[in-house]
Every structure is written in structure tokens, then in C-alpha cells.
Amino acid sequence: MKHIVFSPEVEYGIKHGLPILALESTVITHGMPYPENLETAKVLEAIVRHSNVIPATICLLDGVIKVGMTEHDFDKLTQSKNPEKISQKDIIYAINGKLTGGTTVAATMFIAWKAGIKVFATGGIGGVHRNAEKTMDISSDIMAFSKYPVIVVSAGAKAILDLGKTLESLETLSVPVLGYKTDYFPAFYSSSSPFRVRRVNSCSEIADLYKVQQELNLWNGILISNPIPVEHEIPGHIMEEKIEHAISEANAQKVNGKDLTSFLLSRLVDMTKGKSLKSNVELIKNNVRLGCELAIEVANNK
């Protein structure tokens, strides 16, 4: 496929219909500091392989879209000086400019769909930012859900967002949002929020829903919201205070656009003395475990 290079295992997996799990890379380049980013990326790949699923971490290296990364690719990405944050709109620019960077949920969904990969696990999706009525800052992750039929496992939307508005936008775009063993939309660092979602209790149930969606040629994605394990959560009221503080710092320093999300996440890591980073790592691991189970169910449910 033009502009896309598959790792040998992903190429083999696609050809034989084996379970494959897509993973994004903005979390590596912009979501976490070094060396936790590289360590986490490697732990995630190990979890996937251990589950007998093929990992397909997606990024851009020197203008080439990689679907499935080698060890050398990971070193190259994490050692790159100023990696780009590549959302869907940035892909053409990154290819022409031979740039290196991490792909966001939106860009990763698009690439996964092009590659024929059906399941993707991430930490938390982007969504509608607080004060979006003034700034119009709405992540293109939301739009990607209306365009690409990929199942995305996430711990809800990032807590720095306006969760109510994020859910309303997903509803407008007709995106099914399902709670894995929960009736409430998880809030990233905490396992619950006041917002209700439709509950599912098993991966086979999700695979069946996905099958119906494919049979009807419905082209939207499905969001599986998977709560952070309670032993790793930070209570909502503790995070809320810090999030408000980080947002006021961002306003004072005029941080906006694509820099806002990474600014807020890194301020939270400082303000919680690393606790939010630990939670972030654990919730992604938890999502990847569920993503693997789902990738197997979907591959067997043709």
C-alpha cells in the first residue's frame, strides 16, 4: 500500500486473518515523559504478544507510515528530537516533509482502517475541551469515530475534557459508546462519572454488535469505555481541583490548539508527583488486555 510499510508479523497476520491490535503513538511522543514512554510502549507490546495477538503500533518515521514497529523503530521514534504530533490532517504534510512523529487516536483509526485492522486500544480519547463553547477546541478523534469502523478501547475520554459535551458530540455523530462491565462513563483517572452509558458484559457481546454493524455497512467506529482498575484510580474530586488549576495555567500561558492536551497531562504528572502517570500507564495496560481479548473474538466471529 502506498506510503504504508507493514512489519512482517502484521503483514502475515492481515493475510491470514489473525487477531491484531492497533496501538497509537502520540501517547509515546507527547503523552508521557522519557523513559516511561519507551518502557510503556514495550510493556504494551509484550502484553499483546503474551495474549497471542499481533501488536501493530502505528507511527510515522521519516515520512513513512509504519504499521507495526520494530525495536529499532521504537528507538528512532523515542530518540527523535522534536517528534510531530500527527493527527489526521497532518498526515499528508508529514509524508511530504519526511517527518517523524506519533499518531493521535484520529490518525491511528484512519490508518488502522486502511490496513484492515479492526480493534485498537489507547489510554483515553480526545474530545470536547472545557470552554469549547468559546474556543471550539474539539478533538478530531471525535470526528474519526464517525468515519472509520474500528472498535476503540479507552478508559473513557481524558479527564481534562468536558465529559458531558464529549458524550453529546459522540451521540450527534451516531457513535455507540459502550461501558465494559459498567453503567457509567469512566473518567480516565477515576473509574466512574455521573454520565450513563450502555453496558456490555463480555467481548463476545461486543464482537456480535460489531458484526451487525458490518452487515449493515455502518461506517462509524465503536467506543468501548473500560474503567481503570479501582486499585489504580485517583478519586475524581482530587483530580478535579488539579485539572482546574492546570487549565488556568494553560490559559495564563496562552497554551492552545494541539499543544493543550500534552501541556495539561504533563502539568498533572507534576502536580500529582507522578501518581497520574502511574495511573495512566495502568489504565492503558488494562485497555490493551481487553483489546487483545476483543481482537481474538472479532477475528473468530466472521
- What residue 227 binds from ligand PSU, Mn ion, none (CB within 5 to 8 A, per partner kind)? none
Residue with the shortest CB distance to ligand PSU: 31
Residue type for position 160: I
The answer to whether 111 touches 10, Cβ cutoff 8 Å, is no
Backbone angles phi, psi at 245, to 5 degrees: -65, -45
Q: Please give the grid coordinates belonging to residue 64.
A: 513513512
24 interacts with, out of Mn ion, ligand PSU, none, CB within 5 to 8 A per kind: ligand PSU
Closer CB to ligand PSU, 84 or 297, in the complex: 84
Identify the CA nearest to 122 among candidates 147, 84, 157.
Answer: 157
Q: Angle, to 10 degrees, between the axis of helix 260-271 and the axis of helix 275-300?
A: 120
Among the listed ranges 28-36, 134-142, 164-172, 230-238, the one in contact with Mn ion (CB under 5 A) is: 134-142
Q: Does 137 bind Mn ion (CB under 5 A)?
A: yes
**Which amino acid would we find at residue 198?**
R
Residue among 141 and 282 whose Cβ is closer to ligand PSU:
141
User: Which residues on neighbouring strands pair with residue 65, listed in sequence order?
Assistant: 4, 60
Residue 158 annotated as catalytic: yes
Q: Which stretch, 39-47, 59-67, 202-210, 255-263, contacts ligand PSU (CB under 6 A)?
A: 255-263
Under DSSP, the state recorded for 272 is T
Residue 265 interacts with ligand PSU (CB under 6 A)? yes
Q: What would the grid cell of residue 113 be? A: 482502517
Please report which helix (H) or strand (E) contains residue 225, including its range.
Answer: strand 222-225
Applying CB under 6 A, does 44 fall inside the site for ligand PSU? no
Q: Which residues inside 16-35 make contact with Mn ion, applying CB under 5 A?
A: none
Q: Which of 24, 45, 84, 293 is catalytic?
A: 24
Q: Which of 66, 85, 158, 242 is catalytic?
A: 158
Size of the site for Mn ion (CB under 5 A): 1
Q: Which stretch binds ligand PSU (CB under 6 A): 90-98, 111-119, 123-131, 242-250?
A: 123-131
Tell me whether residue 115 or residue 223 sits nearer to Mn ion (CB atom): 223
State yes or no: is 240 an active-site residue: no
From the list 124, 22, 121, the residue with the least C-alpha distance to 66 is 22
Q: Which is nearer to ligand PSU, 13 or 280 (CB)?
A: 280
Give the cell for residue 85: 504530533
Q: Please say which residue, 13 or 83, places its beta carbon nearer to Mn ion.
A: 83
Asked if residue 24 binds ligand PSU (CB under 6 A), the reply is yes
* Contact with ligand PSU (CB under 6 A) among 40, 78, 139, 190: 139
Q: Give CA separation, 264 vs 10, 49, 256, 257, 295, in Å.
A: 34, 32, 10, 12, 32
Nearest of 89, 159, 85 to residue 127 by alpha carbon: 159
Q: Rounded to whole angstroms, what are the CA distances from 57 to 104, 216, 258, 259?
A: 12, 29, 21, 22
In the region spanning residues 85 to 114, those forming contacts with ligand PSU, defined by CB under 6 A, are 87, 104-105
**Site residues, Mn ion (CB under 5 A):** 137
Instruction: Give catalytic residue positions.
Output: 24, 158
Footprint on this chain of ligand PSU (rule: CB under 6 A): 24, 26-27, 30-31, 87, 104-105, 123-124, 126, 139-141, 158, 258, 261-262, 265, 280
